[in-house]
Amino acid sequence: MAPLLQLDQVTICFGGLTAVSAVDLRLGPRELVGLIGPNGAGKTTLFNLITGVYPPTRGAIYFDGRPTANLKAHQLVRRGIARTFQNIRLFASMTVFDTVRTAVQVHRTHGLRDALLRGGGFRRAEAEVERQVRELLALFQLDRVRDEPAVGLPYGDQRRLEIVRALATRPRLLLLDEPAAGMNPTEKSELTALIRLLQEKFQIAVLLVEHDMRVVMGICERIVVLDYGVKIADGPPAAVRANPRVIEAYLGEEAAPHA
């Protein structure tokens, strides 16, 4: 099958620092891949490259067979790449409902004219958007809090809302940046279930940056390891866990006996 996402020798330098160095990566449609590595290994930078926040210094990125160079972040969202952030970035003055509505509207932006004239077409489109929002909120159990301010939610719900907002743009590739960070064990197991659910239900590819090995090993079919911007391993969880370079760079010695 043709890869959904393809990175060819992607490199980015900030001044003298090479944050990501000649990384090759293939991601199939509906694949769930974990991206791990020590702090500063370039995981988030790789996300920023894929989502068009930075252009790569060298190398090329293809999404769905087409190069993504010169596309801005919001244009890539329309192509089908959505993401969450390591530090939650919700819209501070919006309710839960409006947060998701803002993302759902991406594929049906009206002009100024429609917003002012508010004809039948506009109202139907608006009603359709609202229906989709209700459906998403119900699916992810956020319908109870739909009129609460987004930033007033408990931490775990804020993380979940960020994922729902990303899903609302109807992506084919979802990038999750440390979704389990700061979560308690209950929230973590809920999150694991949620990632499985969304992958099953929406049939999308997921690239997951995560430090919690139980989450990563539990759900990922494949794991990619970065260290100092270089890809040092890429394979099924068992193989990666046994890889001596990965143990040295990231997992540490204790992980070895479990392998």
Partner 1 sequence: MNSGAKRYLLLALLAALIVSGFSAYFNRYYLGVAIDVGINIMLAVSLNLINGHTGQFSLGHAGFMAVGGYIAAKFSLLLQPALPPWMQPLIFCAGLLLGGAIAALTGLAVGVPTLRLYGDYLAIVTLGFGEIIRVIFQTSETFGAATGLTGIPNWTHFGWAWSGAAICVFVVTCLVNSTYGRGFIAVKDDEIAASASGINPVRYKVTAFVVGAFFAGVAGGLYAHHKSFLSPTGFDFMKSIDIVVMVILGGMGRTVGVIIAAILLTLLPEYLREFSDYRMILYALLIILIMIARPQGLFTFARRRPDSK
Candidates 6-14, 33-41, 120-128, 235-243; binding stretch for partner 1 (CB under 8 A):
120-128
Query: Is residue 71 at the binding interface for partner 1, with CB under 8 A as the rule?
Result: no
Query: Is residue 131 at the binding interface for partner 1, with CB under 8 A as the rule?
Result: no
Residue 5 CB, shortest distance to partner 1, in Å, is: 17
Q: Cα dist. 194→164, 191, 216 in Å?
A: 10, 5, 13
Residue 102 CB, shortest distance to partner 1, in Å, is: 5
Query: Is residue 92 at the binding interface for partner 1, with CB under 8 A as the rule?
Result: yes
Query: Is residue 146 at the binding interface for partner 1, with CB under 8 A as the rule?
Result: yes
Residue 19 CB, shortest distance to partner 1, in Å, is: 18
Candidates 63-71, 101-109, 222-230, 238-246; binding stretch for partner 1 (CB under 8 A):
101-109
Residue 252 CB, shortest distance to partner 1, in Å, is: 33
Query: Is residue 114 at the binding interface for partner 1, with CB under 8 A as the rule?
Result: yes
Query: Is residue 105 at the binding interface for partner 1, with CB under 8 A as the rule?
Result: yes
Q: Phi and psi for 118 in degrees, rounded to 5?
A: 50, 55
- Start-to-end CA span in the chain (Å): 30
Residue with Cβ nearer partner 1 (61 or 246): 61
Q: Which residues on neighbouring strands pair with residue 207, listed in sequence order?
A: 33, 175
Q: Residues near 17 by Cβ (< 8 Å), separated by ≥ 6?
A: none
Query: Is residue 98 at the binding interface for partner 1, with CB under 8 A as the rule?
Result: yes
DSSP per-residue codes, 112-130 = HHHHHH--HHHHHHHHHHH
C-alpha 27/C-alpha 30 separation (Å) is: 9
Residue 180 CB, shortest distance to partner 1, in Å, is: 19
Q: Residues near 233 by Cβ (< 8 Å), separated by ≥ 6?
A: 223, 224, 225, 239, 240, 243, 245, 246
Element of type H or E holding 60: strand 58-63
User: Percent helix, strand and coil across the chain, each rounded to 5?
Assistant: 45, 25, 30
Query: Is residue 54 at the binding interface for partner 1, with CB under 8 A as the rule?
Result: no
Quick one: residue 99, left, alpha or beta (phi over 0 = left, psi -120 to 50 = alpha)? Answer: alpha
Residue 7 CB, shortest distance to partner 1, in Å, is: 19
Q: Residues near 16 by Cβ (< 8 Å), separated by ≥ 6?
A: none
Query: Is residue 106 at the binding interface for partner 1, with CB under 8 A as the rule?
Result: yes
Query: Is residue 159 at the binding interface for partner 1, with CB under 8 A as the rule?
Result: no
Binding region for partner 1 (CB under 8 A): 51, 53, 72-75, 77-78, 82-83, 85, 89-94, 98, 101-103, 105-112, 114-116, 118, 122-123, 125-126, 129, 144-148, 165-166, 168-169
